[in-house]
A and B are shown apart, each in its own frame.
Chain A
Amino acid sequence: MAARVNTAGDNKGFLKWARSRKGQQVIIIVAFMIIPLALLFTFTYLPFGEMVGFSFYKMKYLGKRTFVGWKNYASVFSRKDCFGALKLSLYYMGGSVVQLALALYLATVLSFKVKGGNLFKGFMFFPYLINGIAIGFIFKFFYTRGFVFDTVLQWCGFQLDNLPYWLKDQRINNISLVGTSVWRYFGQNMVLFIGAIMSVDSELYEAAMLDGANRLQQFRYIILPSIKTIVTLNVILSITGSLSAFEPPYVITSGANGTGTYFVVMNEIAHTQQKVGLASAMAVVLLLIIFAATILQKLFFKYVFRNAEDEDFGAAKKREKQLAKYAARKAGR
């Protein structure tokens, strides 16, 4: 990209170059990219590189460092609090399955004419806009013994004595926390899915209606195929999201009573115990897992959705055929 004009020591030549179209292009490209690239480097790639370096040392933020080789990595896998915490992400994966299914159902319902649809949508989406710490307080209050959740359950006929302590009882507290995360994000997923469903040509629905397809068939043959890409994407995102679950336990229980997910433990090790090397190793291990998941996702997309557009076209045709067949059968009866 270097200027192919002999600018060396030749001020006039440089000015001429700078006024030329080519010169202007180079100048604007450099000028417009220098700040974002500097920010990207300083706050993403530099720390990323440093973190990998840190992971081989026994160190605090200040003071001397000792090189320990792979010892930190060995600790990540042997320490109970580190790797064991990853098991908790299974709860969050379970939660995201519930969340996606719920979002899909609600999005389907709300995509058709529903009285007060916008109001329902608004109610369910709003939790997404509340800040994490406020959510922490809201749910500490919500789950406190004898408070909101218990009261509502008592209205439904449960006895207070039979109810567990939602945030203390280790059999249930992780599920309570996952519940808050589902509560926060299901509306947002729903809005995403509504967007995808709305982008389907409305003629398809009309044609299906005329042919007498019921709602379930419309969902199966029209809605699902057209939004499968975004659904798959969200399923995969939810896997990485579950591995890095952080906010609910961090703000509601501070990781107490066996609710410390991998990141909560890492945060504690890094900023409270100041074992920066170990925390960095933990971060790198998780990043590797996330990369592996992402590469799998790429491969998955490559082979399953190969020639996505062709296939979509084919699928649409197939759908039409199926609908036609369905209509023919119905007419024949």
Chain B
Amino acid sequence: MTVLQKIGHYLVSVLKYLSLVFFSFVAVLPVVSCVITAFKTEEEYQNTNVMTLPESWLNFNNFLQSFDRANMGKAFVNSLIILVAVLTVSVLVGTSLAYVLNRFKFPGNGLIRNLFLFATLLPGVAMQVAVYGIMDSLNFINTLYGYIIMMCGTDVIAIYIYIQFFENISVSLDESAIIDGASYFTIYHKILLPLLKPAIVTSCILKGVGTYNEYYCANLYLQNKKQLPTVATSLYTFVGPLGSKYNLICAGVIISLLPALIVFILFQKQIYNGMTAGSVKG
């Protein structure tokens, strides 16, 4: 290598790292500024610049206060109930549907796949205009179970992840079980479901994060914010009277994104895999 080439090489890699650092900084800055502000006392918040570090990193006062004011205890309980119910139902429904669609040939198989695919084209927000009427006539508004049932019904990507996974599980496994006298339900339940575990973990993480973060429908259908807040909607409390008390608001925001952060740190690999898997056919 000539000296010039060496310098060129060096420059390119400096530029590469500079750009990575720059965009990481851009990605992190808004959140970090929130963390900084969340640790400030009222007085500090009023008198210092937003980017000045707080005097004490142990001032959890704001967190306690906003947890209390936004009724986050209740919100976390509700979100947990919703999460467990939605994930359980959608895993059972999704895997069983994928099992039937992948393993059996019957008239209408293709049509049903297309019906599910077509549904992804209908943007959720627009549909709520009419879904609202249906939720109303079912008496589902302001009930946790109504919201849960609605949230279970809209997951096509997971079904496709399962179908893809089933395609890679050899049918000869089913056939040998049939020879041994197993029923179809046993095959699904005892043989295929355990093998599907990685796909289930992936889709649960994706769906879980989506459900935890969902707030448009939660806001629309769980209008009783005192009794039925979710973590996402509980933050709404800060819109009105606390409009500019950003030290409290930021603390609330940080609390609300902690679970997502923990899940992200623990399941990074599965999340990345899930993103890629869902995109292939989604």
Contacts and interface: CB of A to CB of B under 8 A. Distances in A.
Chain B associates with chain A: yes
Interface of A: 1, 21, 24-25, 28-29, 32-33, 35-37, 39-40, 42-48, 50-51, 54, 61, 102, 105-106, 109-110, 114-115, 118-120, 122-127, 129-134, 137-139, 141-142, 144, 146-148, 151-152, 183, 186-188, 191-192, 194-196, 215, 230, 233, 240, 244, 246, 250, 263, 266-267, 270-271, 276, 279-280, 282-283, 286-287, 290-291, 294
B77 interface: no
Nearest to B272: A191
Label chain B's interface by main secondary structure.
Answer: helix
B24 A120 contact: yes
A47 B134 contact: yes
A36 B16 contact: no
B178 to A, nearest CB: 8
B16 A109 contact: yes
A307 B119 CA distance: 27
Contact of A287 (B107, B122, B154): B122
Interface residues of B, number: 90
Contact of A142 (B30, B238, B257): B30
B31 interface: yes
Contacts of A132: 213, 215-216, 232
B24 A123 contact: yes
29 contacts: A35-B93, A36-B97, A36-B159, A40-B153, A43-B150, A46-B130, A51-B127, A106-B19, A109-B19, A120-B24, A124-B27, A125-B264, A126-B31, A126-B261, A129-B261, A130-B257, A131-B215, A133-B232, A137-B249, A137-B252, A137-B253, A138-B30, A138-B253, A141-B33, A183-B27, A183-B30, A191-B275, A195-B279, A263-B125
A123 B213 CA distance: 19
Interface string B254-271: 001100110110001001
B107 A1 contact: yes
A215 B15 CA distance: 14
Contacts of A33: 97, 100, 112
Contact of B100 (A32, A48, A282): A32
Contacts of B1: none
Contacts of B51: 148, 151-152
Interface string B19-49: 1110110111111011001000000000001
A131 B33 contact: no
A41 B181 CA distance: 35
Contacts of B188: 28, 32
Given A32-B96, A47-B131, A152-B51, A130 B184 contact: no
- Residue with the highest number of chain A CB atoms closer than 10 Å, among B20, B130, B131, B263: B130
Label chain A's interface by main secondary structure.
Answer: helix
A151 B213 contact: no
B129 A266 contact: yes
Contacts of B276: 191-192, 195-196
B149 A39 contact: yes
Contacts of B220: 271
A92 to B, nearest CB: 14
A40 B101 CA distance: 15
Given A39-B93, A134-B256, A192-B276, A44 B122 contact: yes
Contact of B130 (A28, A47, A119, A286): A47
Contact of B127 (A48, A109, A240, A291): A48
Interface in B126-149: 126-134, 136, 149
